[in-house]
Chains A and B, each alone.
Chain A
């Protein structure tokens, strides 16, 4: 009799324990464009986050708690991003990975800040860290770093004399183009024309014909691959004999598909592509990604976001708490050279990722990349 009572007490306590354990989860949010124009980038981010979270859960979770991923599709639109921010905050996440575009990231920033939720994004727009929110840190490198690098390449390496700088109207693209233009001027270079195209309108012949009359050495485009690929095709059709250099958001397999044969010879400026990342962690995670999803990550952006997530998890474990303020302080002040997939991961006081390493690739006839300049 006594024995059965003891046994049932055990069973009961075990059951209680199990249920407590099951309820004992923490939530991490993903805010990314799962549908829409940049869907393949958003899905890449979501995939990579789930890969890393599942791995962590297999190891026993974060401080003994299972991690649950909550994804919200912002379609790369500011209005949807604001809705996502509310949704994820209500879902009780303690950190959010994303979004892909600077515009959608910026639209959600304040909500996360008010709710004390950590946010990390690959958005490169300089404006992202202007508000100095302690909740936000960037996992890619800012436009200004890329602008200086690109300008140096144009003026000192390639010695281009007539440079055309094009962007779309997004805060990211416009900011990057401004940064390139300013840096070129600082180095004494000549920007022959600075123009803007409306993303998604498909027909860019009018502006390109105008550019043709200037007889440029190079056309630089700071926008996204969906428009960059078409610009390249139409440039070639109009017979403009200029180099084409794309900013980091042109680095996507769909750029090659859109540009087709005309992709050969195009230069892209970006941080090192996933498959040539020289770091220890890179090999491990990129193989794991390919094994699970049967494809490579769509671009470097999914990978830098994965690094953002890994930095957050590192912060949780080192501070032994889910207090977002403590984690943020750790990431900003105490984390030094965290071994990221995309290289040493260091965050400055204002949330900026520092220590950029950038490269210029040239697309070859067979669609592969060849490094033509790095620094």
Chain B
């Protein structure tokens, strides 16, 4: 039983990271119908920015709780800025162009960011210092949970709930939903679509930045091409949950993490990834729009 619970916690931790990153994909897709392939590399970028802030301004030694919040805040602001820049330079000029052009632009932007990371920080593996968060470990009758894991689970839950209310209960949230349904109609209703898209990129990039920082804190090794691994998993999570749907991205991320951990734990570690994706393909066959994806009638 404790082994099962342990696998559950393992799966939920990695699943929440996927979910945080998946939100960035799903929000951009929801509003712009564009797969922002550069999002994964933005996540890797944020881990590097966080590491630099930590080593340059805090001397890479154990810091207080307030300092950790400052690192998170500054990193998300910088990454949000880069996210907005990405939209202005790579996506806005192509907004009326055929959809494939935008996809190519997104892939190009991903390569630019990835190689930018390599040029700035070098091709070698970078290592996050170990003592940024307390290394407390709780042992609850055989089930191990670390402080970092609790942080990841708690903060991603809070962020997702906050995002849900932001989208569904605020005026800006209503404007975002309106833009997602029909950009032209939203414009006619007096919504500034450019601003809404900017907000989407700010929020999505910030969530990705927090995901990236947690990846850095939890796993501690950073490589310039790591964005691809996490980006791909999160993208798949977004599709499973129903791309464009915010609760869908959360559920998709958690499911992906859980499936992987449970299959590795109980069936086969070597086949874990293969079987996980077979299961996910089955989900998509049964529900082609994803778990929470809405069936939309094609406009003729």
Q: A254-B127, A258-B127 are in contact. Are A209 and B10 (CB under 8 A)?
A: yes
| Minimal Cβ-Cβ distance residue in A for B223 | A37
What distance in Å separates the Cβ of A1 from its nearest Cβ neighbour in chain B?
64
Cβ–Cβ < 8 Å partners of B192 in chain A = none
| Contact residues in A for B220 (Cβ distance below 8 Å) | 230, 233, 258, 260
A59 to B270 alpha-carbon distance, docked (Å): 54
A203 to B226, CA, bound (A): 13
Instruction: Contact check, B124 vs A210: say whether CB atoms are below 8 A apart.
Output: no
Q: Which residue of A lies closest to B9 (CB)?
A: A205
Q: Report chain B residues within 8 Å CB of A212.
A: 3, 6
A35-B123, A237-B137, A254-B125 in contact; A226/B221 too (CB < 8 A)?
A: yes
Contact of B156 with A by CB under 8 A: no
Chain A 176-202, CB-CB to B under 8 Å as 1, else 0, gives 000000000000000000011110111
**CA distance in complex: A207, B14 (Å):** 14
Q: Which residue in chain B gives the minimum CB-CB distance to A201?
A: B229
- Cβ of A40 within 8 Å of any chain B Cβ, yes or no, is yes
Q: Are A206 and B127 in contact (CB under 8 A)?
A: no
CB nearest to A203 among chain B residues? B14
- Residues A202 and B219 in contact in the complex (CB < 8 Å), given A212-B6, A239-B144: yes
Q: Return B232 CB to nearest CB of chain A, in Å.
A: 11
B94 CB-CB contact with A under 8 Å: no
With an 8 A cutoff between CB atoms, is A63 at the interface? no
CB contacts under 8 Å to A, within B205-233, are 215, 219-221, 223, 226, 229
Q: B: which residues have CB within 8 A of A?
A: 3, 6-7, 10-11, 13-14, 118, 123-125, 127, 130, 137, 139, 144, 146, 215, 219-221, 223, 226, 229, 260-261, 264-265, 269-270, 272-273
How many residue-residue contacts, CB under 8 A, span A and B?
Answer: 81
A260 to B130, Cβ gap below 8 A?
yes
Q: Flag if B219 contacts A230 (CB, 8 Å).
A: yes
Residues on the A chain within 8 Å of B118, using CB: 35
Instruction: List chain A residues, Cβ under 8 A from B3.
Output: 209-210, 212-213
CB-CB under 8 A from A40, the residues of chain B are 124
Q: Which residues from A are CB-within-8-Å of B124?
A: 39-40
The chain B residue with its CB closest to the CB of A211 is B269
- Distance, CA A260 to CA B127, complexed state (A): 10
Q: Is A238 an interface residue (CB 8 A)?
A: yes
Chain A interface (Cβ within 8 Å of chain B)?
34-37, 39-40, 195-198, 200-203, 205-207, 209-210, 212-213, 226, 229-230, 233, 237-239, 254, 257-258, 260-261
How many angstroms between the C-alpha atoms of A258 and B128 in the bound complex?
8
Q: Could you tell me the distance in whole angstroms from the C-beta of B43 to the nearest C-beta in chain A?
A: 13
- Contact indicator B10/A195 (Cβ below 8 Å): no
Chain B residues within 8 Å of A37, by CB:
125, 223
CA distance A8 to B151 in the complex (A): 84
By a CB distance below 8 angstroms, the chain A residues around B269 are 195-197, 206-207, 210
Q: Which residues of A contact B223 (CB under 8 A)?
A: 37, 200, 226
**A229 in complex: contacting residue of B146, B221, B260, B264, CB < 8 Å:** B221
- The 3 A-B pairs of least Cβ separation, nearest first, read A206-B264, A35-B123, A205-B10
Given contacts A206-B265, A210-B269, 8 further A-B contacts (CB under 8 A): A35-B118, A36-B123, A37-B125, A39-B125, A201-B229, A209-B3, A212-B3, A230-B220
Most chain-A CB neighbours within 10 Å: which of B3, B118, B219?
A: B219
For A238, list chain B residues within 8 Å (CB). Answer: 6, 144
- List chain A residues, Cβ under 8 A from B6: 209, 212, 238
A-B contact list, 24 entries, CB within 8 Å: A35-B123, A37-B125, A196-B270, A198-B273, A200-B226, A202-B215, A202-B219, A203-B14, A206-B264, A206-B272, A209-B6, A209-B7, A209-B261, A210-B265, A212-B6, A226-B223, A233-B220, A238-B144, A239-B137, A239-B139, A239-B144, A254-B125, A254-B127, A258-B221
- Least Cβ–Cβ distance between A259 and chain B, in angstroms: 9
B260's closest neighbor in chain A, by CB?
A: A206
State the CA gap A197–B268 with chains docked (Å).
Answer: 11
Which of A201, A202, A206, A260 meets B10, CB within 8 Å? Answer: A206
Tell me the bound Cα distance from A37 to B264 in angstroms: 25
> Which of A198, A202, A205, A261 makes the CB contact (< 8 A) with B130?
A261
Chain B residues with CB under 8 A of A200: 223, 226, 229
A230 lies within 8 A of B221 (CB): yes
B270 near A257 with CB under 8 A, answer no
Closest to B148 in A: A237
CB-nearest residue of chain B relative to A169?
A: B270
Beta-carbon contact of A210 and B264 below 8 Å: yes
Partner of A202, one of B7, B11, B221, B273: B221
Would you call A206 and B123 a contact (CB within 8 A)? no
Note all chain A residues with C-beta closer than 8 A to B265.
206, 209-210
Closest to A40 in B: B124
Set of chain B residues within 8 Å of A36, measured between Cβ atoms: 123
Contacts of B127 in A (CB 8 A): 254, 257-258
Roughly how many angstroms separate A210 CA and B139 CA in the complex, as a whole number?
17
A257 to B222, CA, bound (A): 12
Bound CA–CA A258/B219 (angstroms): 9
Distance of A219 Cα from B272 Cα, bound (Å): 20
Tell me the smallest distance from the CB of A207 to a CB of chain B, in Å: 5
